[in-house]
Amino acid sequence: MIYLILYLEFFKIGLFAIGGGLASLPFLRELVDKYGWITHEQLANMIAISESTPGAIGINVATYVGNEVAGPLGGLVATLGEVSPSIIVITVLARALQTYSTHPLVQGGFAAVRPAVAGLIGAVAYELAQN
């Protein structure tokens, strides 16, 4: 039962924490309050460690919490819960894009986004060159 709870809780975090790891903090705090699997201090330490190590904060915290609660299998289950929404959304979007990629509205949308992406990349390059 613990594995199902881990999976579903981290699935919810992965689904609704749009914007990266820091966007998942309210969900993670709620998780700490709801289940008490880890303390708020442990969560703060894990976020600090996740910020300073490679990988996404959400994945690192999911693996840590799952491992603390139910060992290595718990870490795997929580991590799978965290990434499942992204995999599902990407799969659905990829299939939709294959189907509708030639539609004029989709082509127009991509054409509109290209200059914005180029501008963002240029702005980052400029900032990096300044530093």
Cα(14)–Cα(43) distance, integer angstroms:
17
Q: Where are the beta strands (DSSP E) in the chain?
A: none
Burial of 94 (0-12, 13-18, 19+ CB in 10 A): exposed
Do residues 35 and 108 touch, judged by C-beta distance below 8 A?
no
pLDDT digits 0-9 by tens, 41-87: 998 888 888 877 777 888 888 999 999 999 999 999 999 999 999 99
Biggest alpha carbon distance in the chain?
53
- The whole-chain average pLDDT of the chain stands at 88
**Residue closest to 43 by CA, chosen among 19, 18, 62, 16:** 62
Instruction: Among 63-72, 100-109, 120-129, name the one with the lowest average pLDDT.
Output: 120-129
Q: What is the pLDDT of residue 70?
A: 96
Q: What is the pLDDT of residue 120?
A: 81
Confidence of residue 36 (pLDDT cuts 50, 70, 90): very high
User: With 90 as the cut, is the pLDDT of residue 121 above it?
Assistant: no
Confidence of residue 13 (pLDDT cuts 50, 70, 90): very high
Cα(71)–Cα(54) distance, integer angstroms:
22
